[in-house]
Amino acid sequence: MAAEAQVDRLAAVEAKVARGERLGFEDGVALLASHELLRVGRLADAACRSKVGRKVFFVRNRHINYSNVCGNRCAFCAFSRSEGEDGAFVLSRQEVLDKARSASAGGVSEFHIVGGEDPHFTYEQARAMLADLRTAAPGVTLTAFTASEIAHFAEAGGCSVSEVLQGLKHAGLGSLPGGGAEVFAQRVRDLVCPRKVTAERWLDVHRQAHRLGIPSNATMLYGHVETVEERVDHLLRLRELQDETGGFQAFIPLAFHPANTRLAHLPGPTGTEDLKVVATARLLLDNFTHIKAYWVMLGIKLAQVALYFGADDLDGTILEEVITHMAGGTTQQAVSVGEIVRLVRQAGRIPVERDTFYRELHTYAEAG
Ligand code: V47
């Protein structure tokens, strides 16, 4: 597209936003294709401020990856191993509890628990793990199992997704994380994750969770083989489900990290792409309140800049991130509350510690 035509397309998007009109497919493509980064950012920043003001949220959380054994072996993943392969691990019940107890003593309010689709890790074990964690750390919210793990528990256990979700909720499940969505387009899934649940199934697990009163997050893993149009399609499918259920709390764009994956020949997304994806998500997902700048994947400095491009959440302290670091992530594995507060204040925003459900736990005074 000629540069001039692109500018015009962006002007049309700006006019729509000014009129309060919902953006469509072509608008999303225009935003992602634009080289007018600051104009795109300005639109997204205004949308973000009108929704959440100047607050930027974070959570004290701990990631627990209970197993990296996975039958899917997606091309973009450096974390998973086949059973018995070098580097494969399954944490014992005691190891999971030890990680949880020390994090709970350190004041976290959320455990983010995900693993591979381990053929030997059953629904009963998943339930027992949550029940153990609830006993060990009763005040900590359990954000556990991606939709693809839930679907796997249901298939392997011969029961329905709804039964699995109800059983896990009873054992202490608080919310579902947004992982496993990748890019919904089947063309992309055939190339990078042919064995993973389909888009329809991923969406349906979230639909059923929302119906049971279990809120969830949504992600998109971008910057590999997908087109701009496929990114927009992904966002619009999330928006459609959110119109139906209202159960999504946050959207998290995940920047592809190629190292140690079967897609290591790809370069991964650049900084302008990262920021345009955050901004486009904020503008297209007009029914999502929160857009996370996931510092682990963006890097801490770009995550801070993303606060001017529509993001209002930095995720959390994390403590021991594994999935991105195995794929060449170079950020630290944890960040302190003090550092998050400093980043937010220097962006001129108000740091707010939240729990999983965006209840505000502590608002930090603005920088003087
Ligand atoms: O499901 C895997 C993706 C996800 C790579 O819900 C990769 O609040 C980049 O879902 N490069 C796990 N991404 C992380 C995740 C997440 C993170 C933070 C917050 C939340 C939330 C969810 O990471 C996986 C997959 O989609 N992933 N490999 C890679 N090489």
Mutate to test the pocket of ligand 1, among 221, 290, 320 (most ligand atoms within 8 A of CB): 221
**Closest residue CA from atom 8 of ligand 1:** 177
Residue 182 has pLDDT above 60, yes or no: yes
**What pLDDT band is residue 196 in, cutting at 50, 70 and 90?**
very high
3-class secondary structure per residue, the chain: CCHHHHHHHHHHHHHHHHCCCCCCHHHHHHHHHCCCHHHHHHHHHHHHHHHHCCEEEEECEEEEECECECCCCCCCCCCCECCCCCCCCECCHHHHHHHHHHHHHCCCCEEEEECCCCCCCCHHHHHHHHHHHHHHCCCCEEEECCHHHHHHHHHHHCCCHHHHHHHHHHHCEEEECCCCCCCCCHHHHHHHCCCCCCHHHHHHHHHHHHHCCCCEEEEEEECCCCCHHHHHHHHHHHHHHHHHHCCEEEEEEEECCCCCCCCCCCCCCCHHHHHHHHHHHHHHCCCCCEEECCHHHHCHHHHHHHCCCCCCEEEECCCCCCHHHHCCCCCCCCCCHHHHHHHHHHCCCEEEEECCCCCEEEECCCCC
Is the pLDDT at 321 greater than 90, yes or no? Answer: no
Pocket-testing residue among 323, 333, 356, ligand 1, by greatest number of atoms within 8 A of Cβ:
323
Cα 316 to ligand 1 centre (Å) = 14
Per-residue pLDDT averaged across 296-311, rounded?
Answer: 97
> How far does residue 257's CA lie from ligand 1's centre (Å)?
10
Indicate whether 132 pLDDT > 80.
yes
pTM of the model: 0.97
pLDDT exceeds cutoff 90 at 2: no
> For the residues 158-179, what does the mean pLDDT come to?
98
Cα 346 to averaged position of ligand 1 atoms, centre (Å): 27
pLDDT-derived band at 5 (thresholds 50, 70, 90) equals: low
pLDDT for position 296: 94
Instruction: Round the average pLDDT of the chain to a whole number and report it.
Output: 95
Atom of ligand 1 nearest to the CA of 181: 26
pLDDT over 70, % of the chain? 98
Q: Which atom of ligand 1 is nearest to the CA of 146?
A: 1
Q: What confidence score (pLDDT) does residue 366 get? A: 78
Measured in Å, residue 7 CA sits from the centre of ligand 1 at: 33
Q: For residue 9, how far is its CA from the centre of ligand 1 (angstroms)?
A: 32
User: What are the tens digits of pLDDT across the range 9-67?
Assistant: 999 999 999 999 999 999 999 999 999 999 999 999 999 999 999 999 999 999 999 99
Question: Could you give the percent of the chain with pLDDT greater than 90?
Answer: 92
Which residues does a 6 A CB cutoff place in the pocket of ligand 1?
A: 76-78, 146, 177-180, 182, 217, 219, 221, 252, 254, 256-257, 261, 294, 297, 315, 323-324, 327
Ligand 1 centroid–CA 280 distance in Å is 19
pLDDT of amino acid 330: 87
Q: Mind listing the pLDDT tens digit for each residue in 234-278? A: 999 999 999 999 999 999 999 999 999 999 999 999 999 999 999
As a CATH number, domain 2-363 is: 3.20.20.70
Checking if the pLDDT of 98 tops 70, the result is yes
Please report the atom of ligand 1 found closest to the CA of residue 216.
6
Report pLDDT for 323. Answer: 87
Whole-number pLDDT of residue 284: 98
**Predicted pLDDT of residue 88:** 96
